[in-house]
Every structure is written in C-alpha cells, then in structure tokens.
A and B are shown apart, each in its own frame.
Chain A
Amino acid sequence: DAGVIQSPRHEVTEMGQEVTLRCKPISGHNSLFWYRQTMMRGLELLIYFNNNVPIDDSGMPEDRFSAKMPNASFSTLKIQPSEPRDSAVYFCASSPRTSDPYNEQFFGPGTRLTVL
C-alpha cells in the first residue's frame, strides 16, 4: 500500500482565498483524522471520522474550517476564507479499526500551508 496520500504537499495562497486539502487514507482503514501542527500550538486534532461519519469536530478552530468524507477513500479539509494564522502543516492520518484505540495511526506526509 502507498500509505496515506495527501495533496498538495505545499500550498501558498493569499489571504481570503479558499484552500482545499485532500487526503486518501489507506485502503480498508475505518478512521480518518485531520491534525494541524504549528510551532506555537504543537499538534492539534481538528476532526476525525469513523466509517465516513464525523465523530468529533471540537478541534475545528472556526466556521471557516470544514471537512468532508464523501466516501471511504477520500477526505477534504477546506478553509474559506483563509487567513495568515492558518499557516501550518496539516496532517491526515488513518487507522484500521474504529473499535480498537490501540490501533496505530498512520500519518500522511502533511501539507505545508502558507497564507500570505
């Protein structure tokens, strides 16, 4: 398996623009997680899905952020409108079984977002 795939790897945009980050989890995995990593706040969980259903979005910072998982093999994280403080590395991770918290989370390579 290719692992978790994220695109783009780097994104530079201007304030006010819409940004869409994409994630393809590992085939067969039931859980998907979106994280944000910054120097100031460390690694934060934004939202996670089990079987394509959003379970906990309490980490989503504002209404400007939205995430979807239309099917088991694809998820998006959208920021509209983007702001400079959204600049961060965004990670997507997936894990095999919803019912087992011991499961390893497999992380993608991340998307480095810069909002000018």
Chain B
Amino acid sequence: AQTVTQSQPEMSVQEAETVTLSCTYDTSESDYYLFWYKQPPSRQMILVIRQEAYKQQNATENRFSVNFQKAAKSFSLKISDSQLGDAAMYFCAYRSANTNAGKSTFGDGTTLTVKP
C-alpha cells in the first residue's frame, strides 16, 4: 500500500519570503500522480498543483512550484513571495495511474503560518 509522509507538522514564513514544504511517499508503482491541496480555515480543500510521475519537468502554477524527485520519492512544494492568504494546512496526496485504483492517499498535512 502507498503511504505519504509530511514530516513537518508546522511551518512558518515571513510575508514575501519563500517556503518549502516537504513530502515523501512510498510506492512500488512507476506511474502515478501527485497533488498538493490547500485547506484554509474555511475547511474548503483546494487543489494547488499536480504532477504526473512520467513527466520530468516540475509543475508550476504562478507562485507555487514543486521539486519532484522520482528516484528519491520526494515531492516538495515551494511557495514564493508568500502572502497572508497562503496561511493554511497543506496536504500532499498520491493517486495511482491505475484507473481501477481510484482513491488518493493523503499525508497528515503541514500547517503553514505566514507572518506579516
């Protein structure tokens, strides 16, 4: 079974600075997808960014980018120019490319605080 580990329960960053959230996973599959979700205090889960395992190029979405290291099974999220609205809990998730698998496995989350 796949597992997802987020080793940082809490992180903080100064506004306008850069922060990196770590995520590692364990799988025996070669084809899969990885996601970062944001959960602000409103509880709404929002997709931040996603990565296909067969793509070597790291995904980017505006101020959000990932560092995907397939051999190391690492998938970190970098937030540049941090804003107060980035304060939230961030979840890393794994999903098999096997269409019969369907379900995602989530990490325990990292709570990000942004200091003004």
Docked CA distance A26–B10 (Å): 33
Stretch of B15-23, B65-73, B75-83, B89-97 contacting A (4+ beta carbons < 8 Å): B89-97
Collect the chain A residues with CB atoms within 8 Å of residue B100's CB. 55
- Per a CB cutoff under 8 Å, which of A55, A104, A107, A112 touches B102? A55
B57 within 8 A of A: no
Collect the chain A residues with CB atoms within 8 Å of residue B43's CB. 89, 109-110, 112
Closest Cβ of chain A to B68, distance in Å, is: 14
Quick one: CB contact mask for A1-44 with B, threshold 8 Å, 1 for yes? 00000000000000000000000000000010100000000110
Question: B45 near A101 (CB under 8 angstroms)?
Answer: no
Docked CA distance A33–B45 (Å): 13
Question: A102 near B50 (CB under 8 angstroms)?
Answer: yes
Give the size category of A's interface with B. 20 to 34
- Residues 72-116 of B contacting A (Cβ, < 8 Å): 91, 95-109
B64 within 8 A of A: no
A62 within 8 A of B: no
Collect the chain A residues with CB atoms within 8 Å of residue B103's CB. 33, 45, 48, 56, 59
Task: Assess A100 versus B109: contact at CB under 8 Å? Given A91-B45, A93-B45, A107-B45.
Answer: no
Collect the chain B residues with CB atoms within 8 Å of residue A55's CB. 100, 102
Task: Assess A50 versus B102: contact at CB under 8 Å? Given A102-B33, A102-B52, A107-B44.
Answer: yes
Question: B109 near A101 (CB under 8 angstroms)?
Answer: no
Residue of B nearest to A91 (CB): B45
Q: Which residues of A approach B to under 8 Å, CB–CB? A: 31, 33, 42-43, 45, 48, 50, 55-56, 59, 89, 91, 93, 98-102, 104-105, 107, 109-110, 112
Q: Which residues of B approach A to under 8 Å, CB–CB? A: 32-33, 35, 37, 42-47, 50, 52, 91, 95-109
